[in-house]
């Protein structure tokens, strides 16, 4: 795993409160950006429970 992929996995976990199902840098960047743009979910995992 590259350093970029490690960073994306960390960002994914913060954004979605779970591990990514696959490590695909391009897909992960796009989905994280989309989620951050829409801000549909709270950034806190605690509020999702």
Tell me what pLDDT residue 20 has.
Answer: 98
Tell me what pLDDT residue 39 has.
Answer: 76
Using one digit for the tens of pLDDT, what is the confidence trace for 13-38? 999 999 999 999 999 999 999 999 98
Residue 9, domain extent: 3-48
The total number of structural domains that make up the chain: 1
32 vs 14: CA distance, rounded Å: 10
The answer to whether the beta carbons of residues 17 and 46 sit under 8 Å apart is no
């Amino acid at each position: 795993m590259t350093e970029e992929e490690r960073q994306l996995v960390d960002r994914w976990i913060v954004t979605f409160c779970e591990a990514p199902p696959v490590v695909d840098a391009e897909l992960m960047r796009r989905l994280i950006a989309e989620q951050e743009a829409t801000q549909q979910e709270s950034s806190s995992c605690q509020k999702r429970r």
